[in-house]
Amino acid sequence: MKPMAMNLELEEAIARILDGATSVGTEEILLEEAYGRVVAEDVFSWMTHPPFERSPLDGYAYWAEALSAGPVKLKVVSEVPAGTWPERVLKPGEAARIFTGAPLPQGANCVVRQEDTQVDGEMVWVERPVLPGANVVPHGDEVKEGDMLVQGGERLTPPAVGLLAAMGIAKVKVFRKPRVGLFSTGSELMDVGEPLAPGKIYNSNSYTLRGLIQEAGCEAVSLPLVPDRLAETVRALQALEDVDVVITTGGASVGDYDLMPQALQEHGCEILFWKIKMKPGTPACVGKKDRRLYFALSGNPAAAMVTFELLARPALRKYAGLNHPESERFLVKMAGAFAKSGKQRRFLRARVSLRDGVVWADPGAAQGSGILKSMIGRHLLVDVPGGHGAVSEGETLEAYWIGEWEE
Ligand code: AMP
Ligand code: MG
């Protein structure tokens, strides 16, 4: 094998990965399909919203004088339901019956609540007159023409899509979803639905990763299982030339049957690094060919998930066009101890709970690198520095979310 960078610090590995990642092309889609997609360019408003002065409640619109103190008696000369345009201009002493969302008629500068009035034939009594401007939502209260609505590189949340809809915008330019090719290697693997043969186990990684990839807003393209044989592994890599990123599990370690680093090189990849100084997931290997990054992760299910989070997710964010591909670190309090100390940096999977306004991280008992069951529910990854010693309950440490956590 050609010489390659070995045993990197996680931060150095992430820097190399992000340096190698690019963003995919764009497409224009209907607003109704836009939720969760990443906007490709800044979107500015072509209109002012609301497009007219309007009433936020049911009542009567009239012209209030700044200083009038006593009750006023007004003649109701028109009615303005929502969705109509008030043609009738009010004169002094006149009022319009107005409903929530309706435009304010000319000649009115306030709305008094229906509950604060008394109707007497075609007249209405206002016991305590309101001030000019009361209960009037100004023209352009929410958005002015030319305001930025959403910024390129942001994921469209439900209110962001709603805001674009409020501006009448029917289509939006987004980054297309990155396509992520995926396969599991290992001669011991069988797929679900087959009877289990002696010495074999079912492939779970393809399923976990498929979910993680989709959750990251990407399209997963899975290949069938690949045995621990070089030619077949290279052929599988060749079958994934039309995707943006490739993720594989298994065979990234140093055993005789761990063929991924070699397969990546035979496929023509430049190896960005092999192995990182952390547990679990030490034997990750990342390569690059053309615009594609290749992540060969450990087959160990928990290690595969942890390295997906720490290495692959930031890259997928960059391919997806997001402005901030790096994962955010934050402080957590340990809700339990973890005795097994080590020289190596370790990421503890920990269940999240919120108590007294604090994020608590419970590492539980199960940190064995093969345990998927312990990761069901909301978890995060606690970063225990190398040589830290035992982690005690109540201690504050830094952590990463598992999954997306966007501002
Ligand atoms: P490897 O990374 O190939 O050394 O595999 C590490 C451990 O993970 C071994 O016990 C494998 O049997 C197991 N393993 C590998 N691939 C998978 C997979 N796709 N699903 C479940 N377990 C796996
Ligand atoms: Mg293996």
How many C-beta atoms lie closer than 10 Å to residue 81's C-beta?
Answer: 12
Closest CA to 174 of 36, 292, 44, 45: 36
Number of domains in the chain: 4
Residue 383 located in a structural domain: yes
pLDDT score of 362: 92
Whether residue 377 sits in one domain with residue 296: no
Q: Please indicate, yes or no, whether residues 35 and 163 belong to a single structural domain of this protein.
A: yes
Question: Is the CB of residue 186 below 6 angstroms from any atom belonging to ligand 1?
Answer: yes
Same domain for 255 and 217, yes or no, is yes
Binding site membership of 55 for ligand 1 (Cβ less than 6 Å): no
In a domain, 300, yes or no: yes
Q: For ligand 1, atom 15, which residue shows the shortest CA distance?
A: 299
Determine whether the shortest distance from the Cβ of 281 to ligand 1 is under 6 A.
no
Separation of 206 CA from ligand 1 center, angstroms? 11
> Do 300 and 357 have their domain in common?
no
Q: Does residue 288 sit in the same domain as residue 221?
A: yes
Q: What is the pLDDT of residue 94?
A: 97
Q: Are 274 and 4 in contact (CB under 8 A)?
A: yes
Same domain, 279 and 193: yes
Range of 314's domain? 6-25+177-319
Query: What is the number of the ligand closest to the CA of 307?
Result: 1
Q: How far is residue 329's CA from residue 216's CA, in Å, rounded to a whole number?
A: 18
Check if 375 has its Cβ closer than 6 Å to any atom of ligand 1. no
> Ligand 1: which residue has its CA nearest to atom 17?
299
What is the full per-residue pLDDT of the chain (407 aa) written as tens digits? 888 899 999 999 999 999 999 999 999 999 999 999 999 999 999 999 999 999 999 999 999 988 777 899 999 999 999 999 999 999 999 999 999 999 999 999 999 999 999 999 999 999 888 999 999 999 999 999 999 999 999 999 999 999 999 999 999 999 999 999 999 999 999 999 999 999 999 999 999 999 999 999 999 999 999 999 999 999 999 999 999 999 999 999 988 889 999 999 999 999 999 999 999 999 999 999 999 999 999 999 989 999 999 999 999 999 999 999 999 999 999 999 998 878 999 999 999 999 988 999 998 866 666 577 777 777 899 999 999 999 999 999 999 988 876 65
Sign of CA pseudo-dihedral 162, 165, 167, 173: positive
Taken in order 347, 353, 359, 360, the sign of the CA dihedral is: negative
CATH of the domain at 344: 2.40.340.10
What Cα–Cα distance (Å) separates residue 190 from each residue in 138, 220, 227, 375? 65, 20, 10, 22
Question: What does DSSP assign to residue 111?
Answer: E
Binding site membership of 222 for ligand 1 (Cβ less than 6 Å): no
Task: Give yes or no for a cis peptide into 280 (omega within 30° of 0).
Answer: yes
Residues 200, 189: Cα–Cα separation, whole Å: 6
Residue 86 sits at the vertex; the CA angle it makes with 80 and 88, to the nearest 5 degrees, is 110
How far, in Å, CA of 188 to CA of 203, rounded?
A: 9
Atom of ligand 1 nearest to the CA of 300: 8
Q: What is the pLDDT of residue 85?
A: 98
Q: Quick one: 14 and 99 in the same domain? A: no
Let me know whether 345 and 382 are in one domain.
yes
Does the Cβ of 249 fall within 6 Å of ligand 1?
yes
Q: Exposed, middle or buried: residue 249 (CB in 10 Å: 0-12, 13-18, 19+)?
A: buried
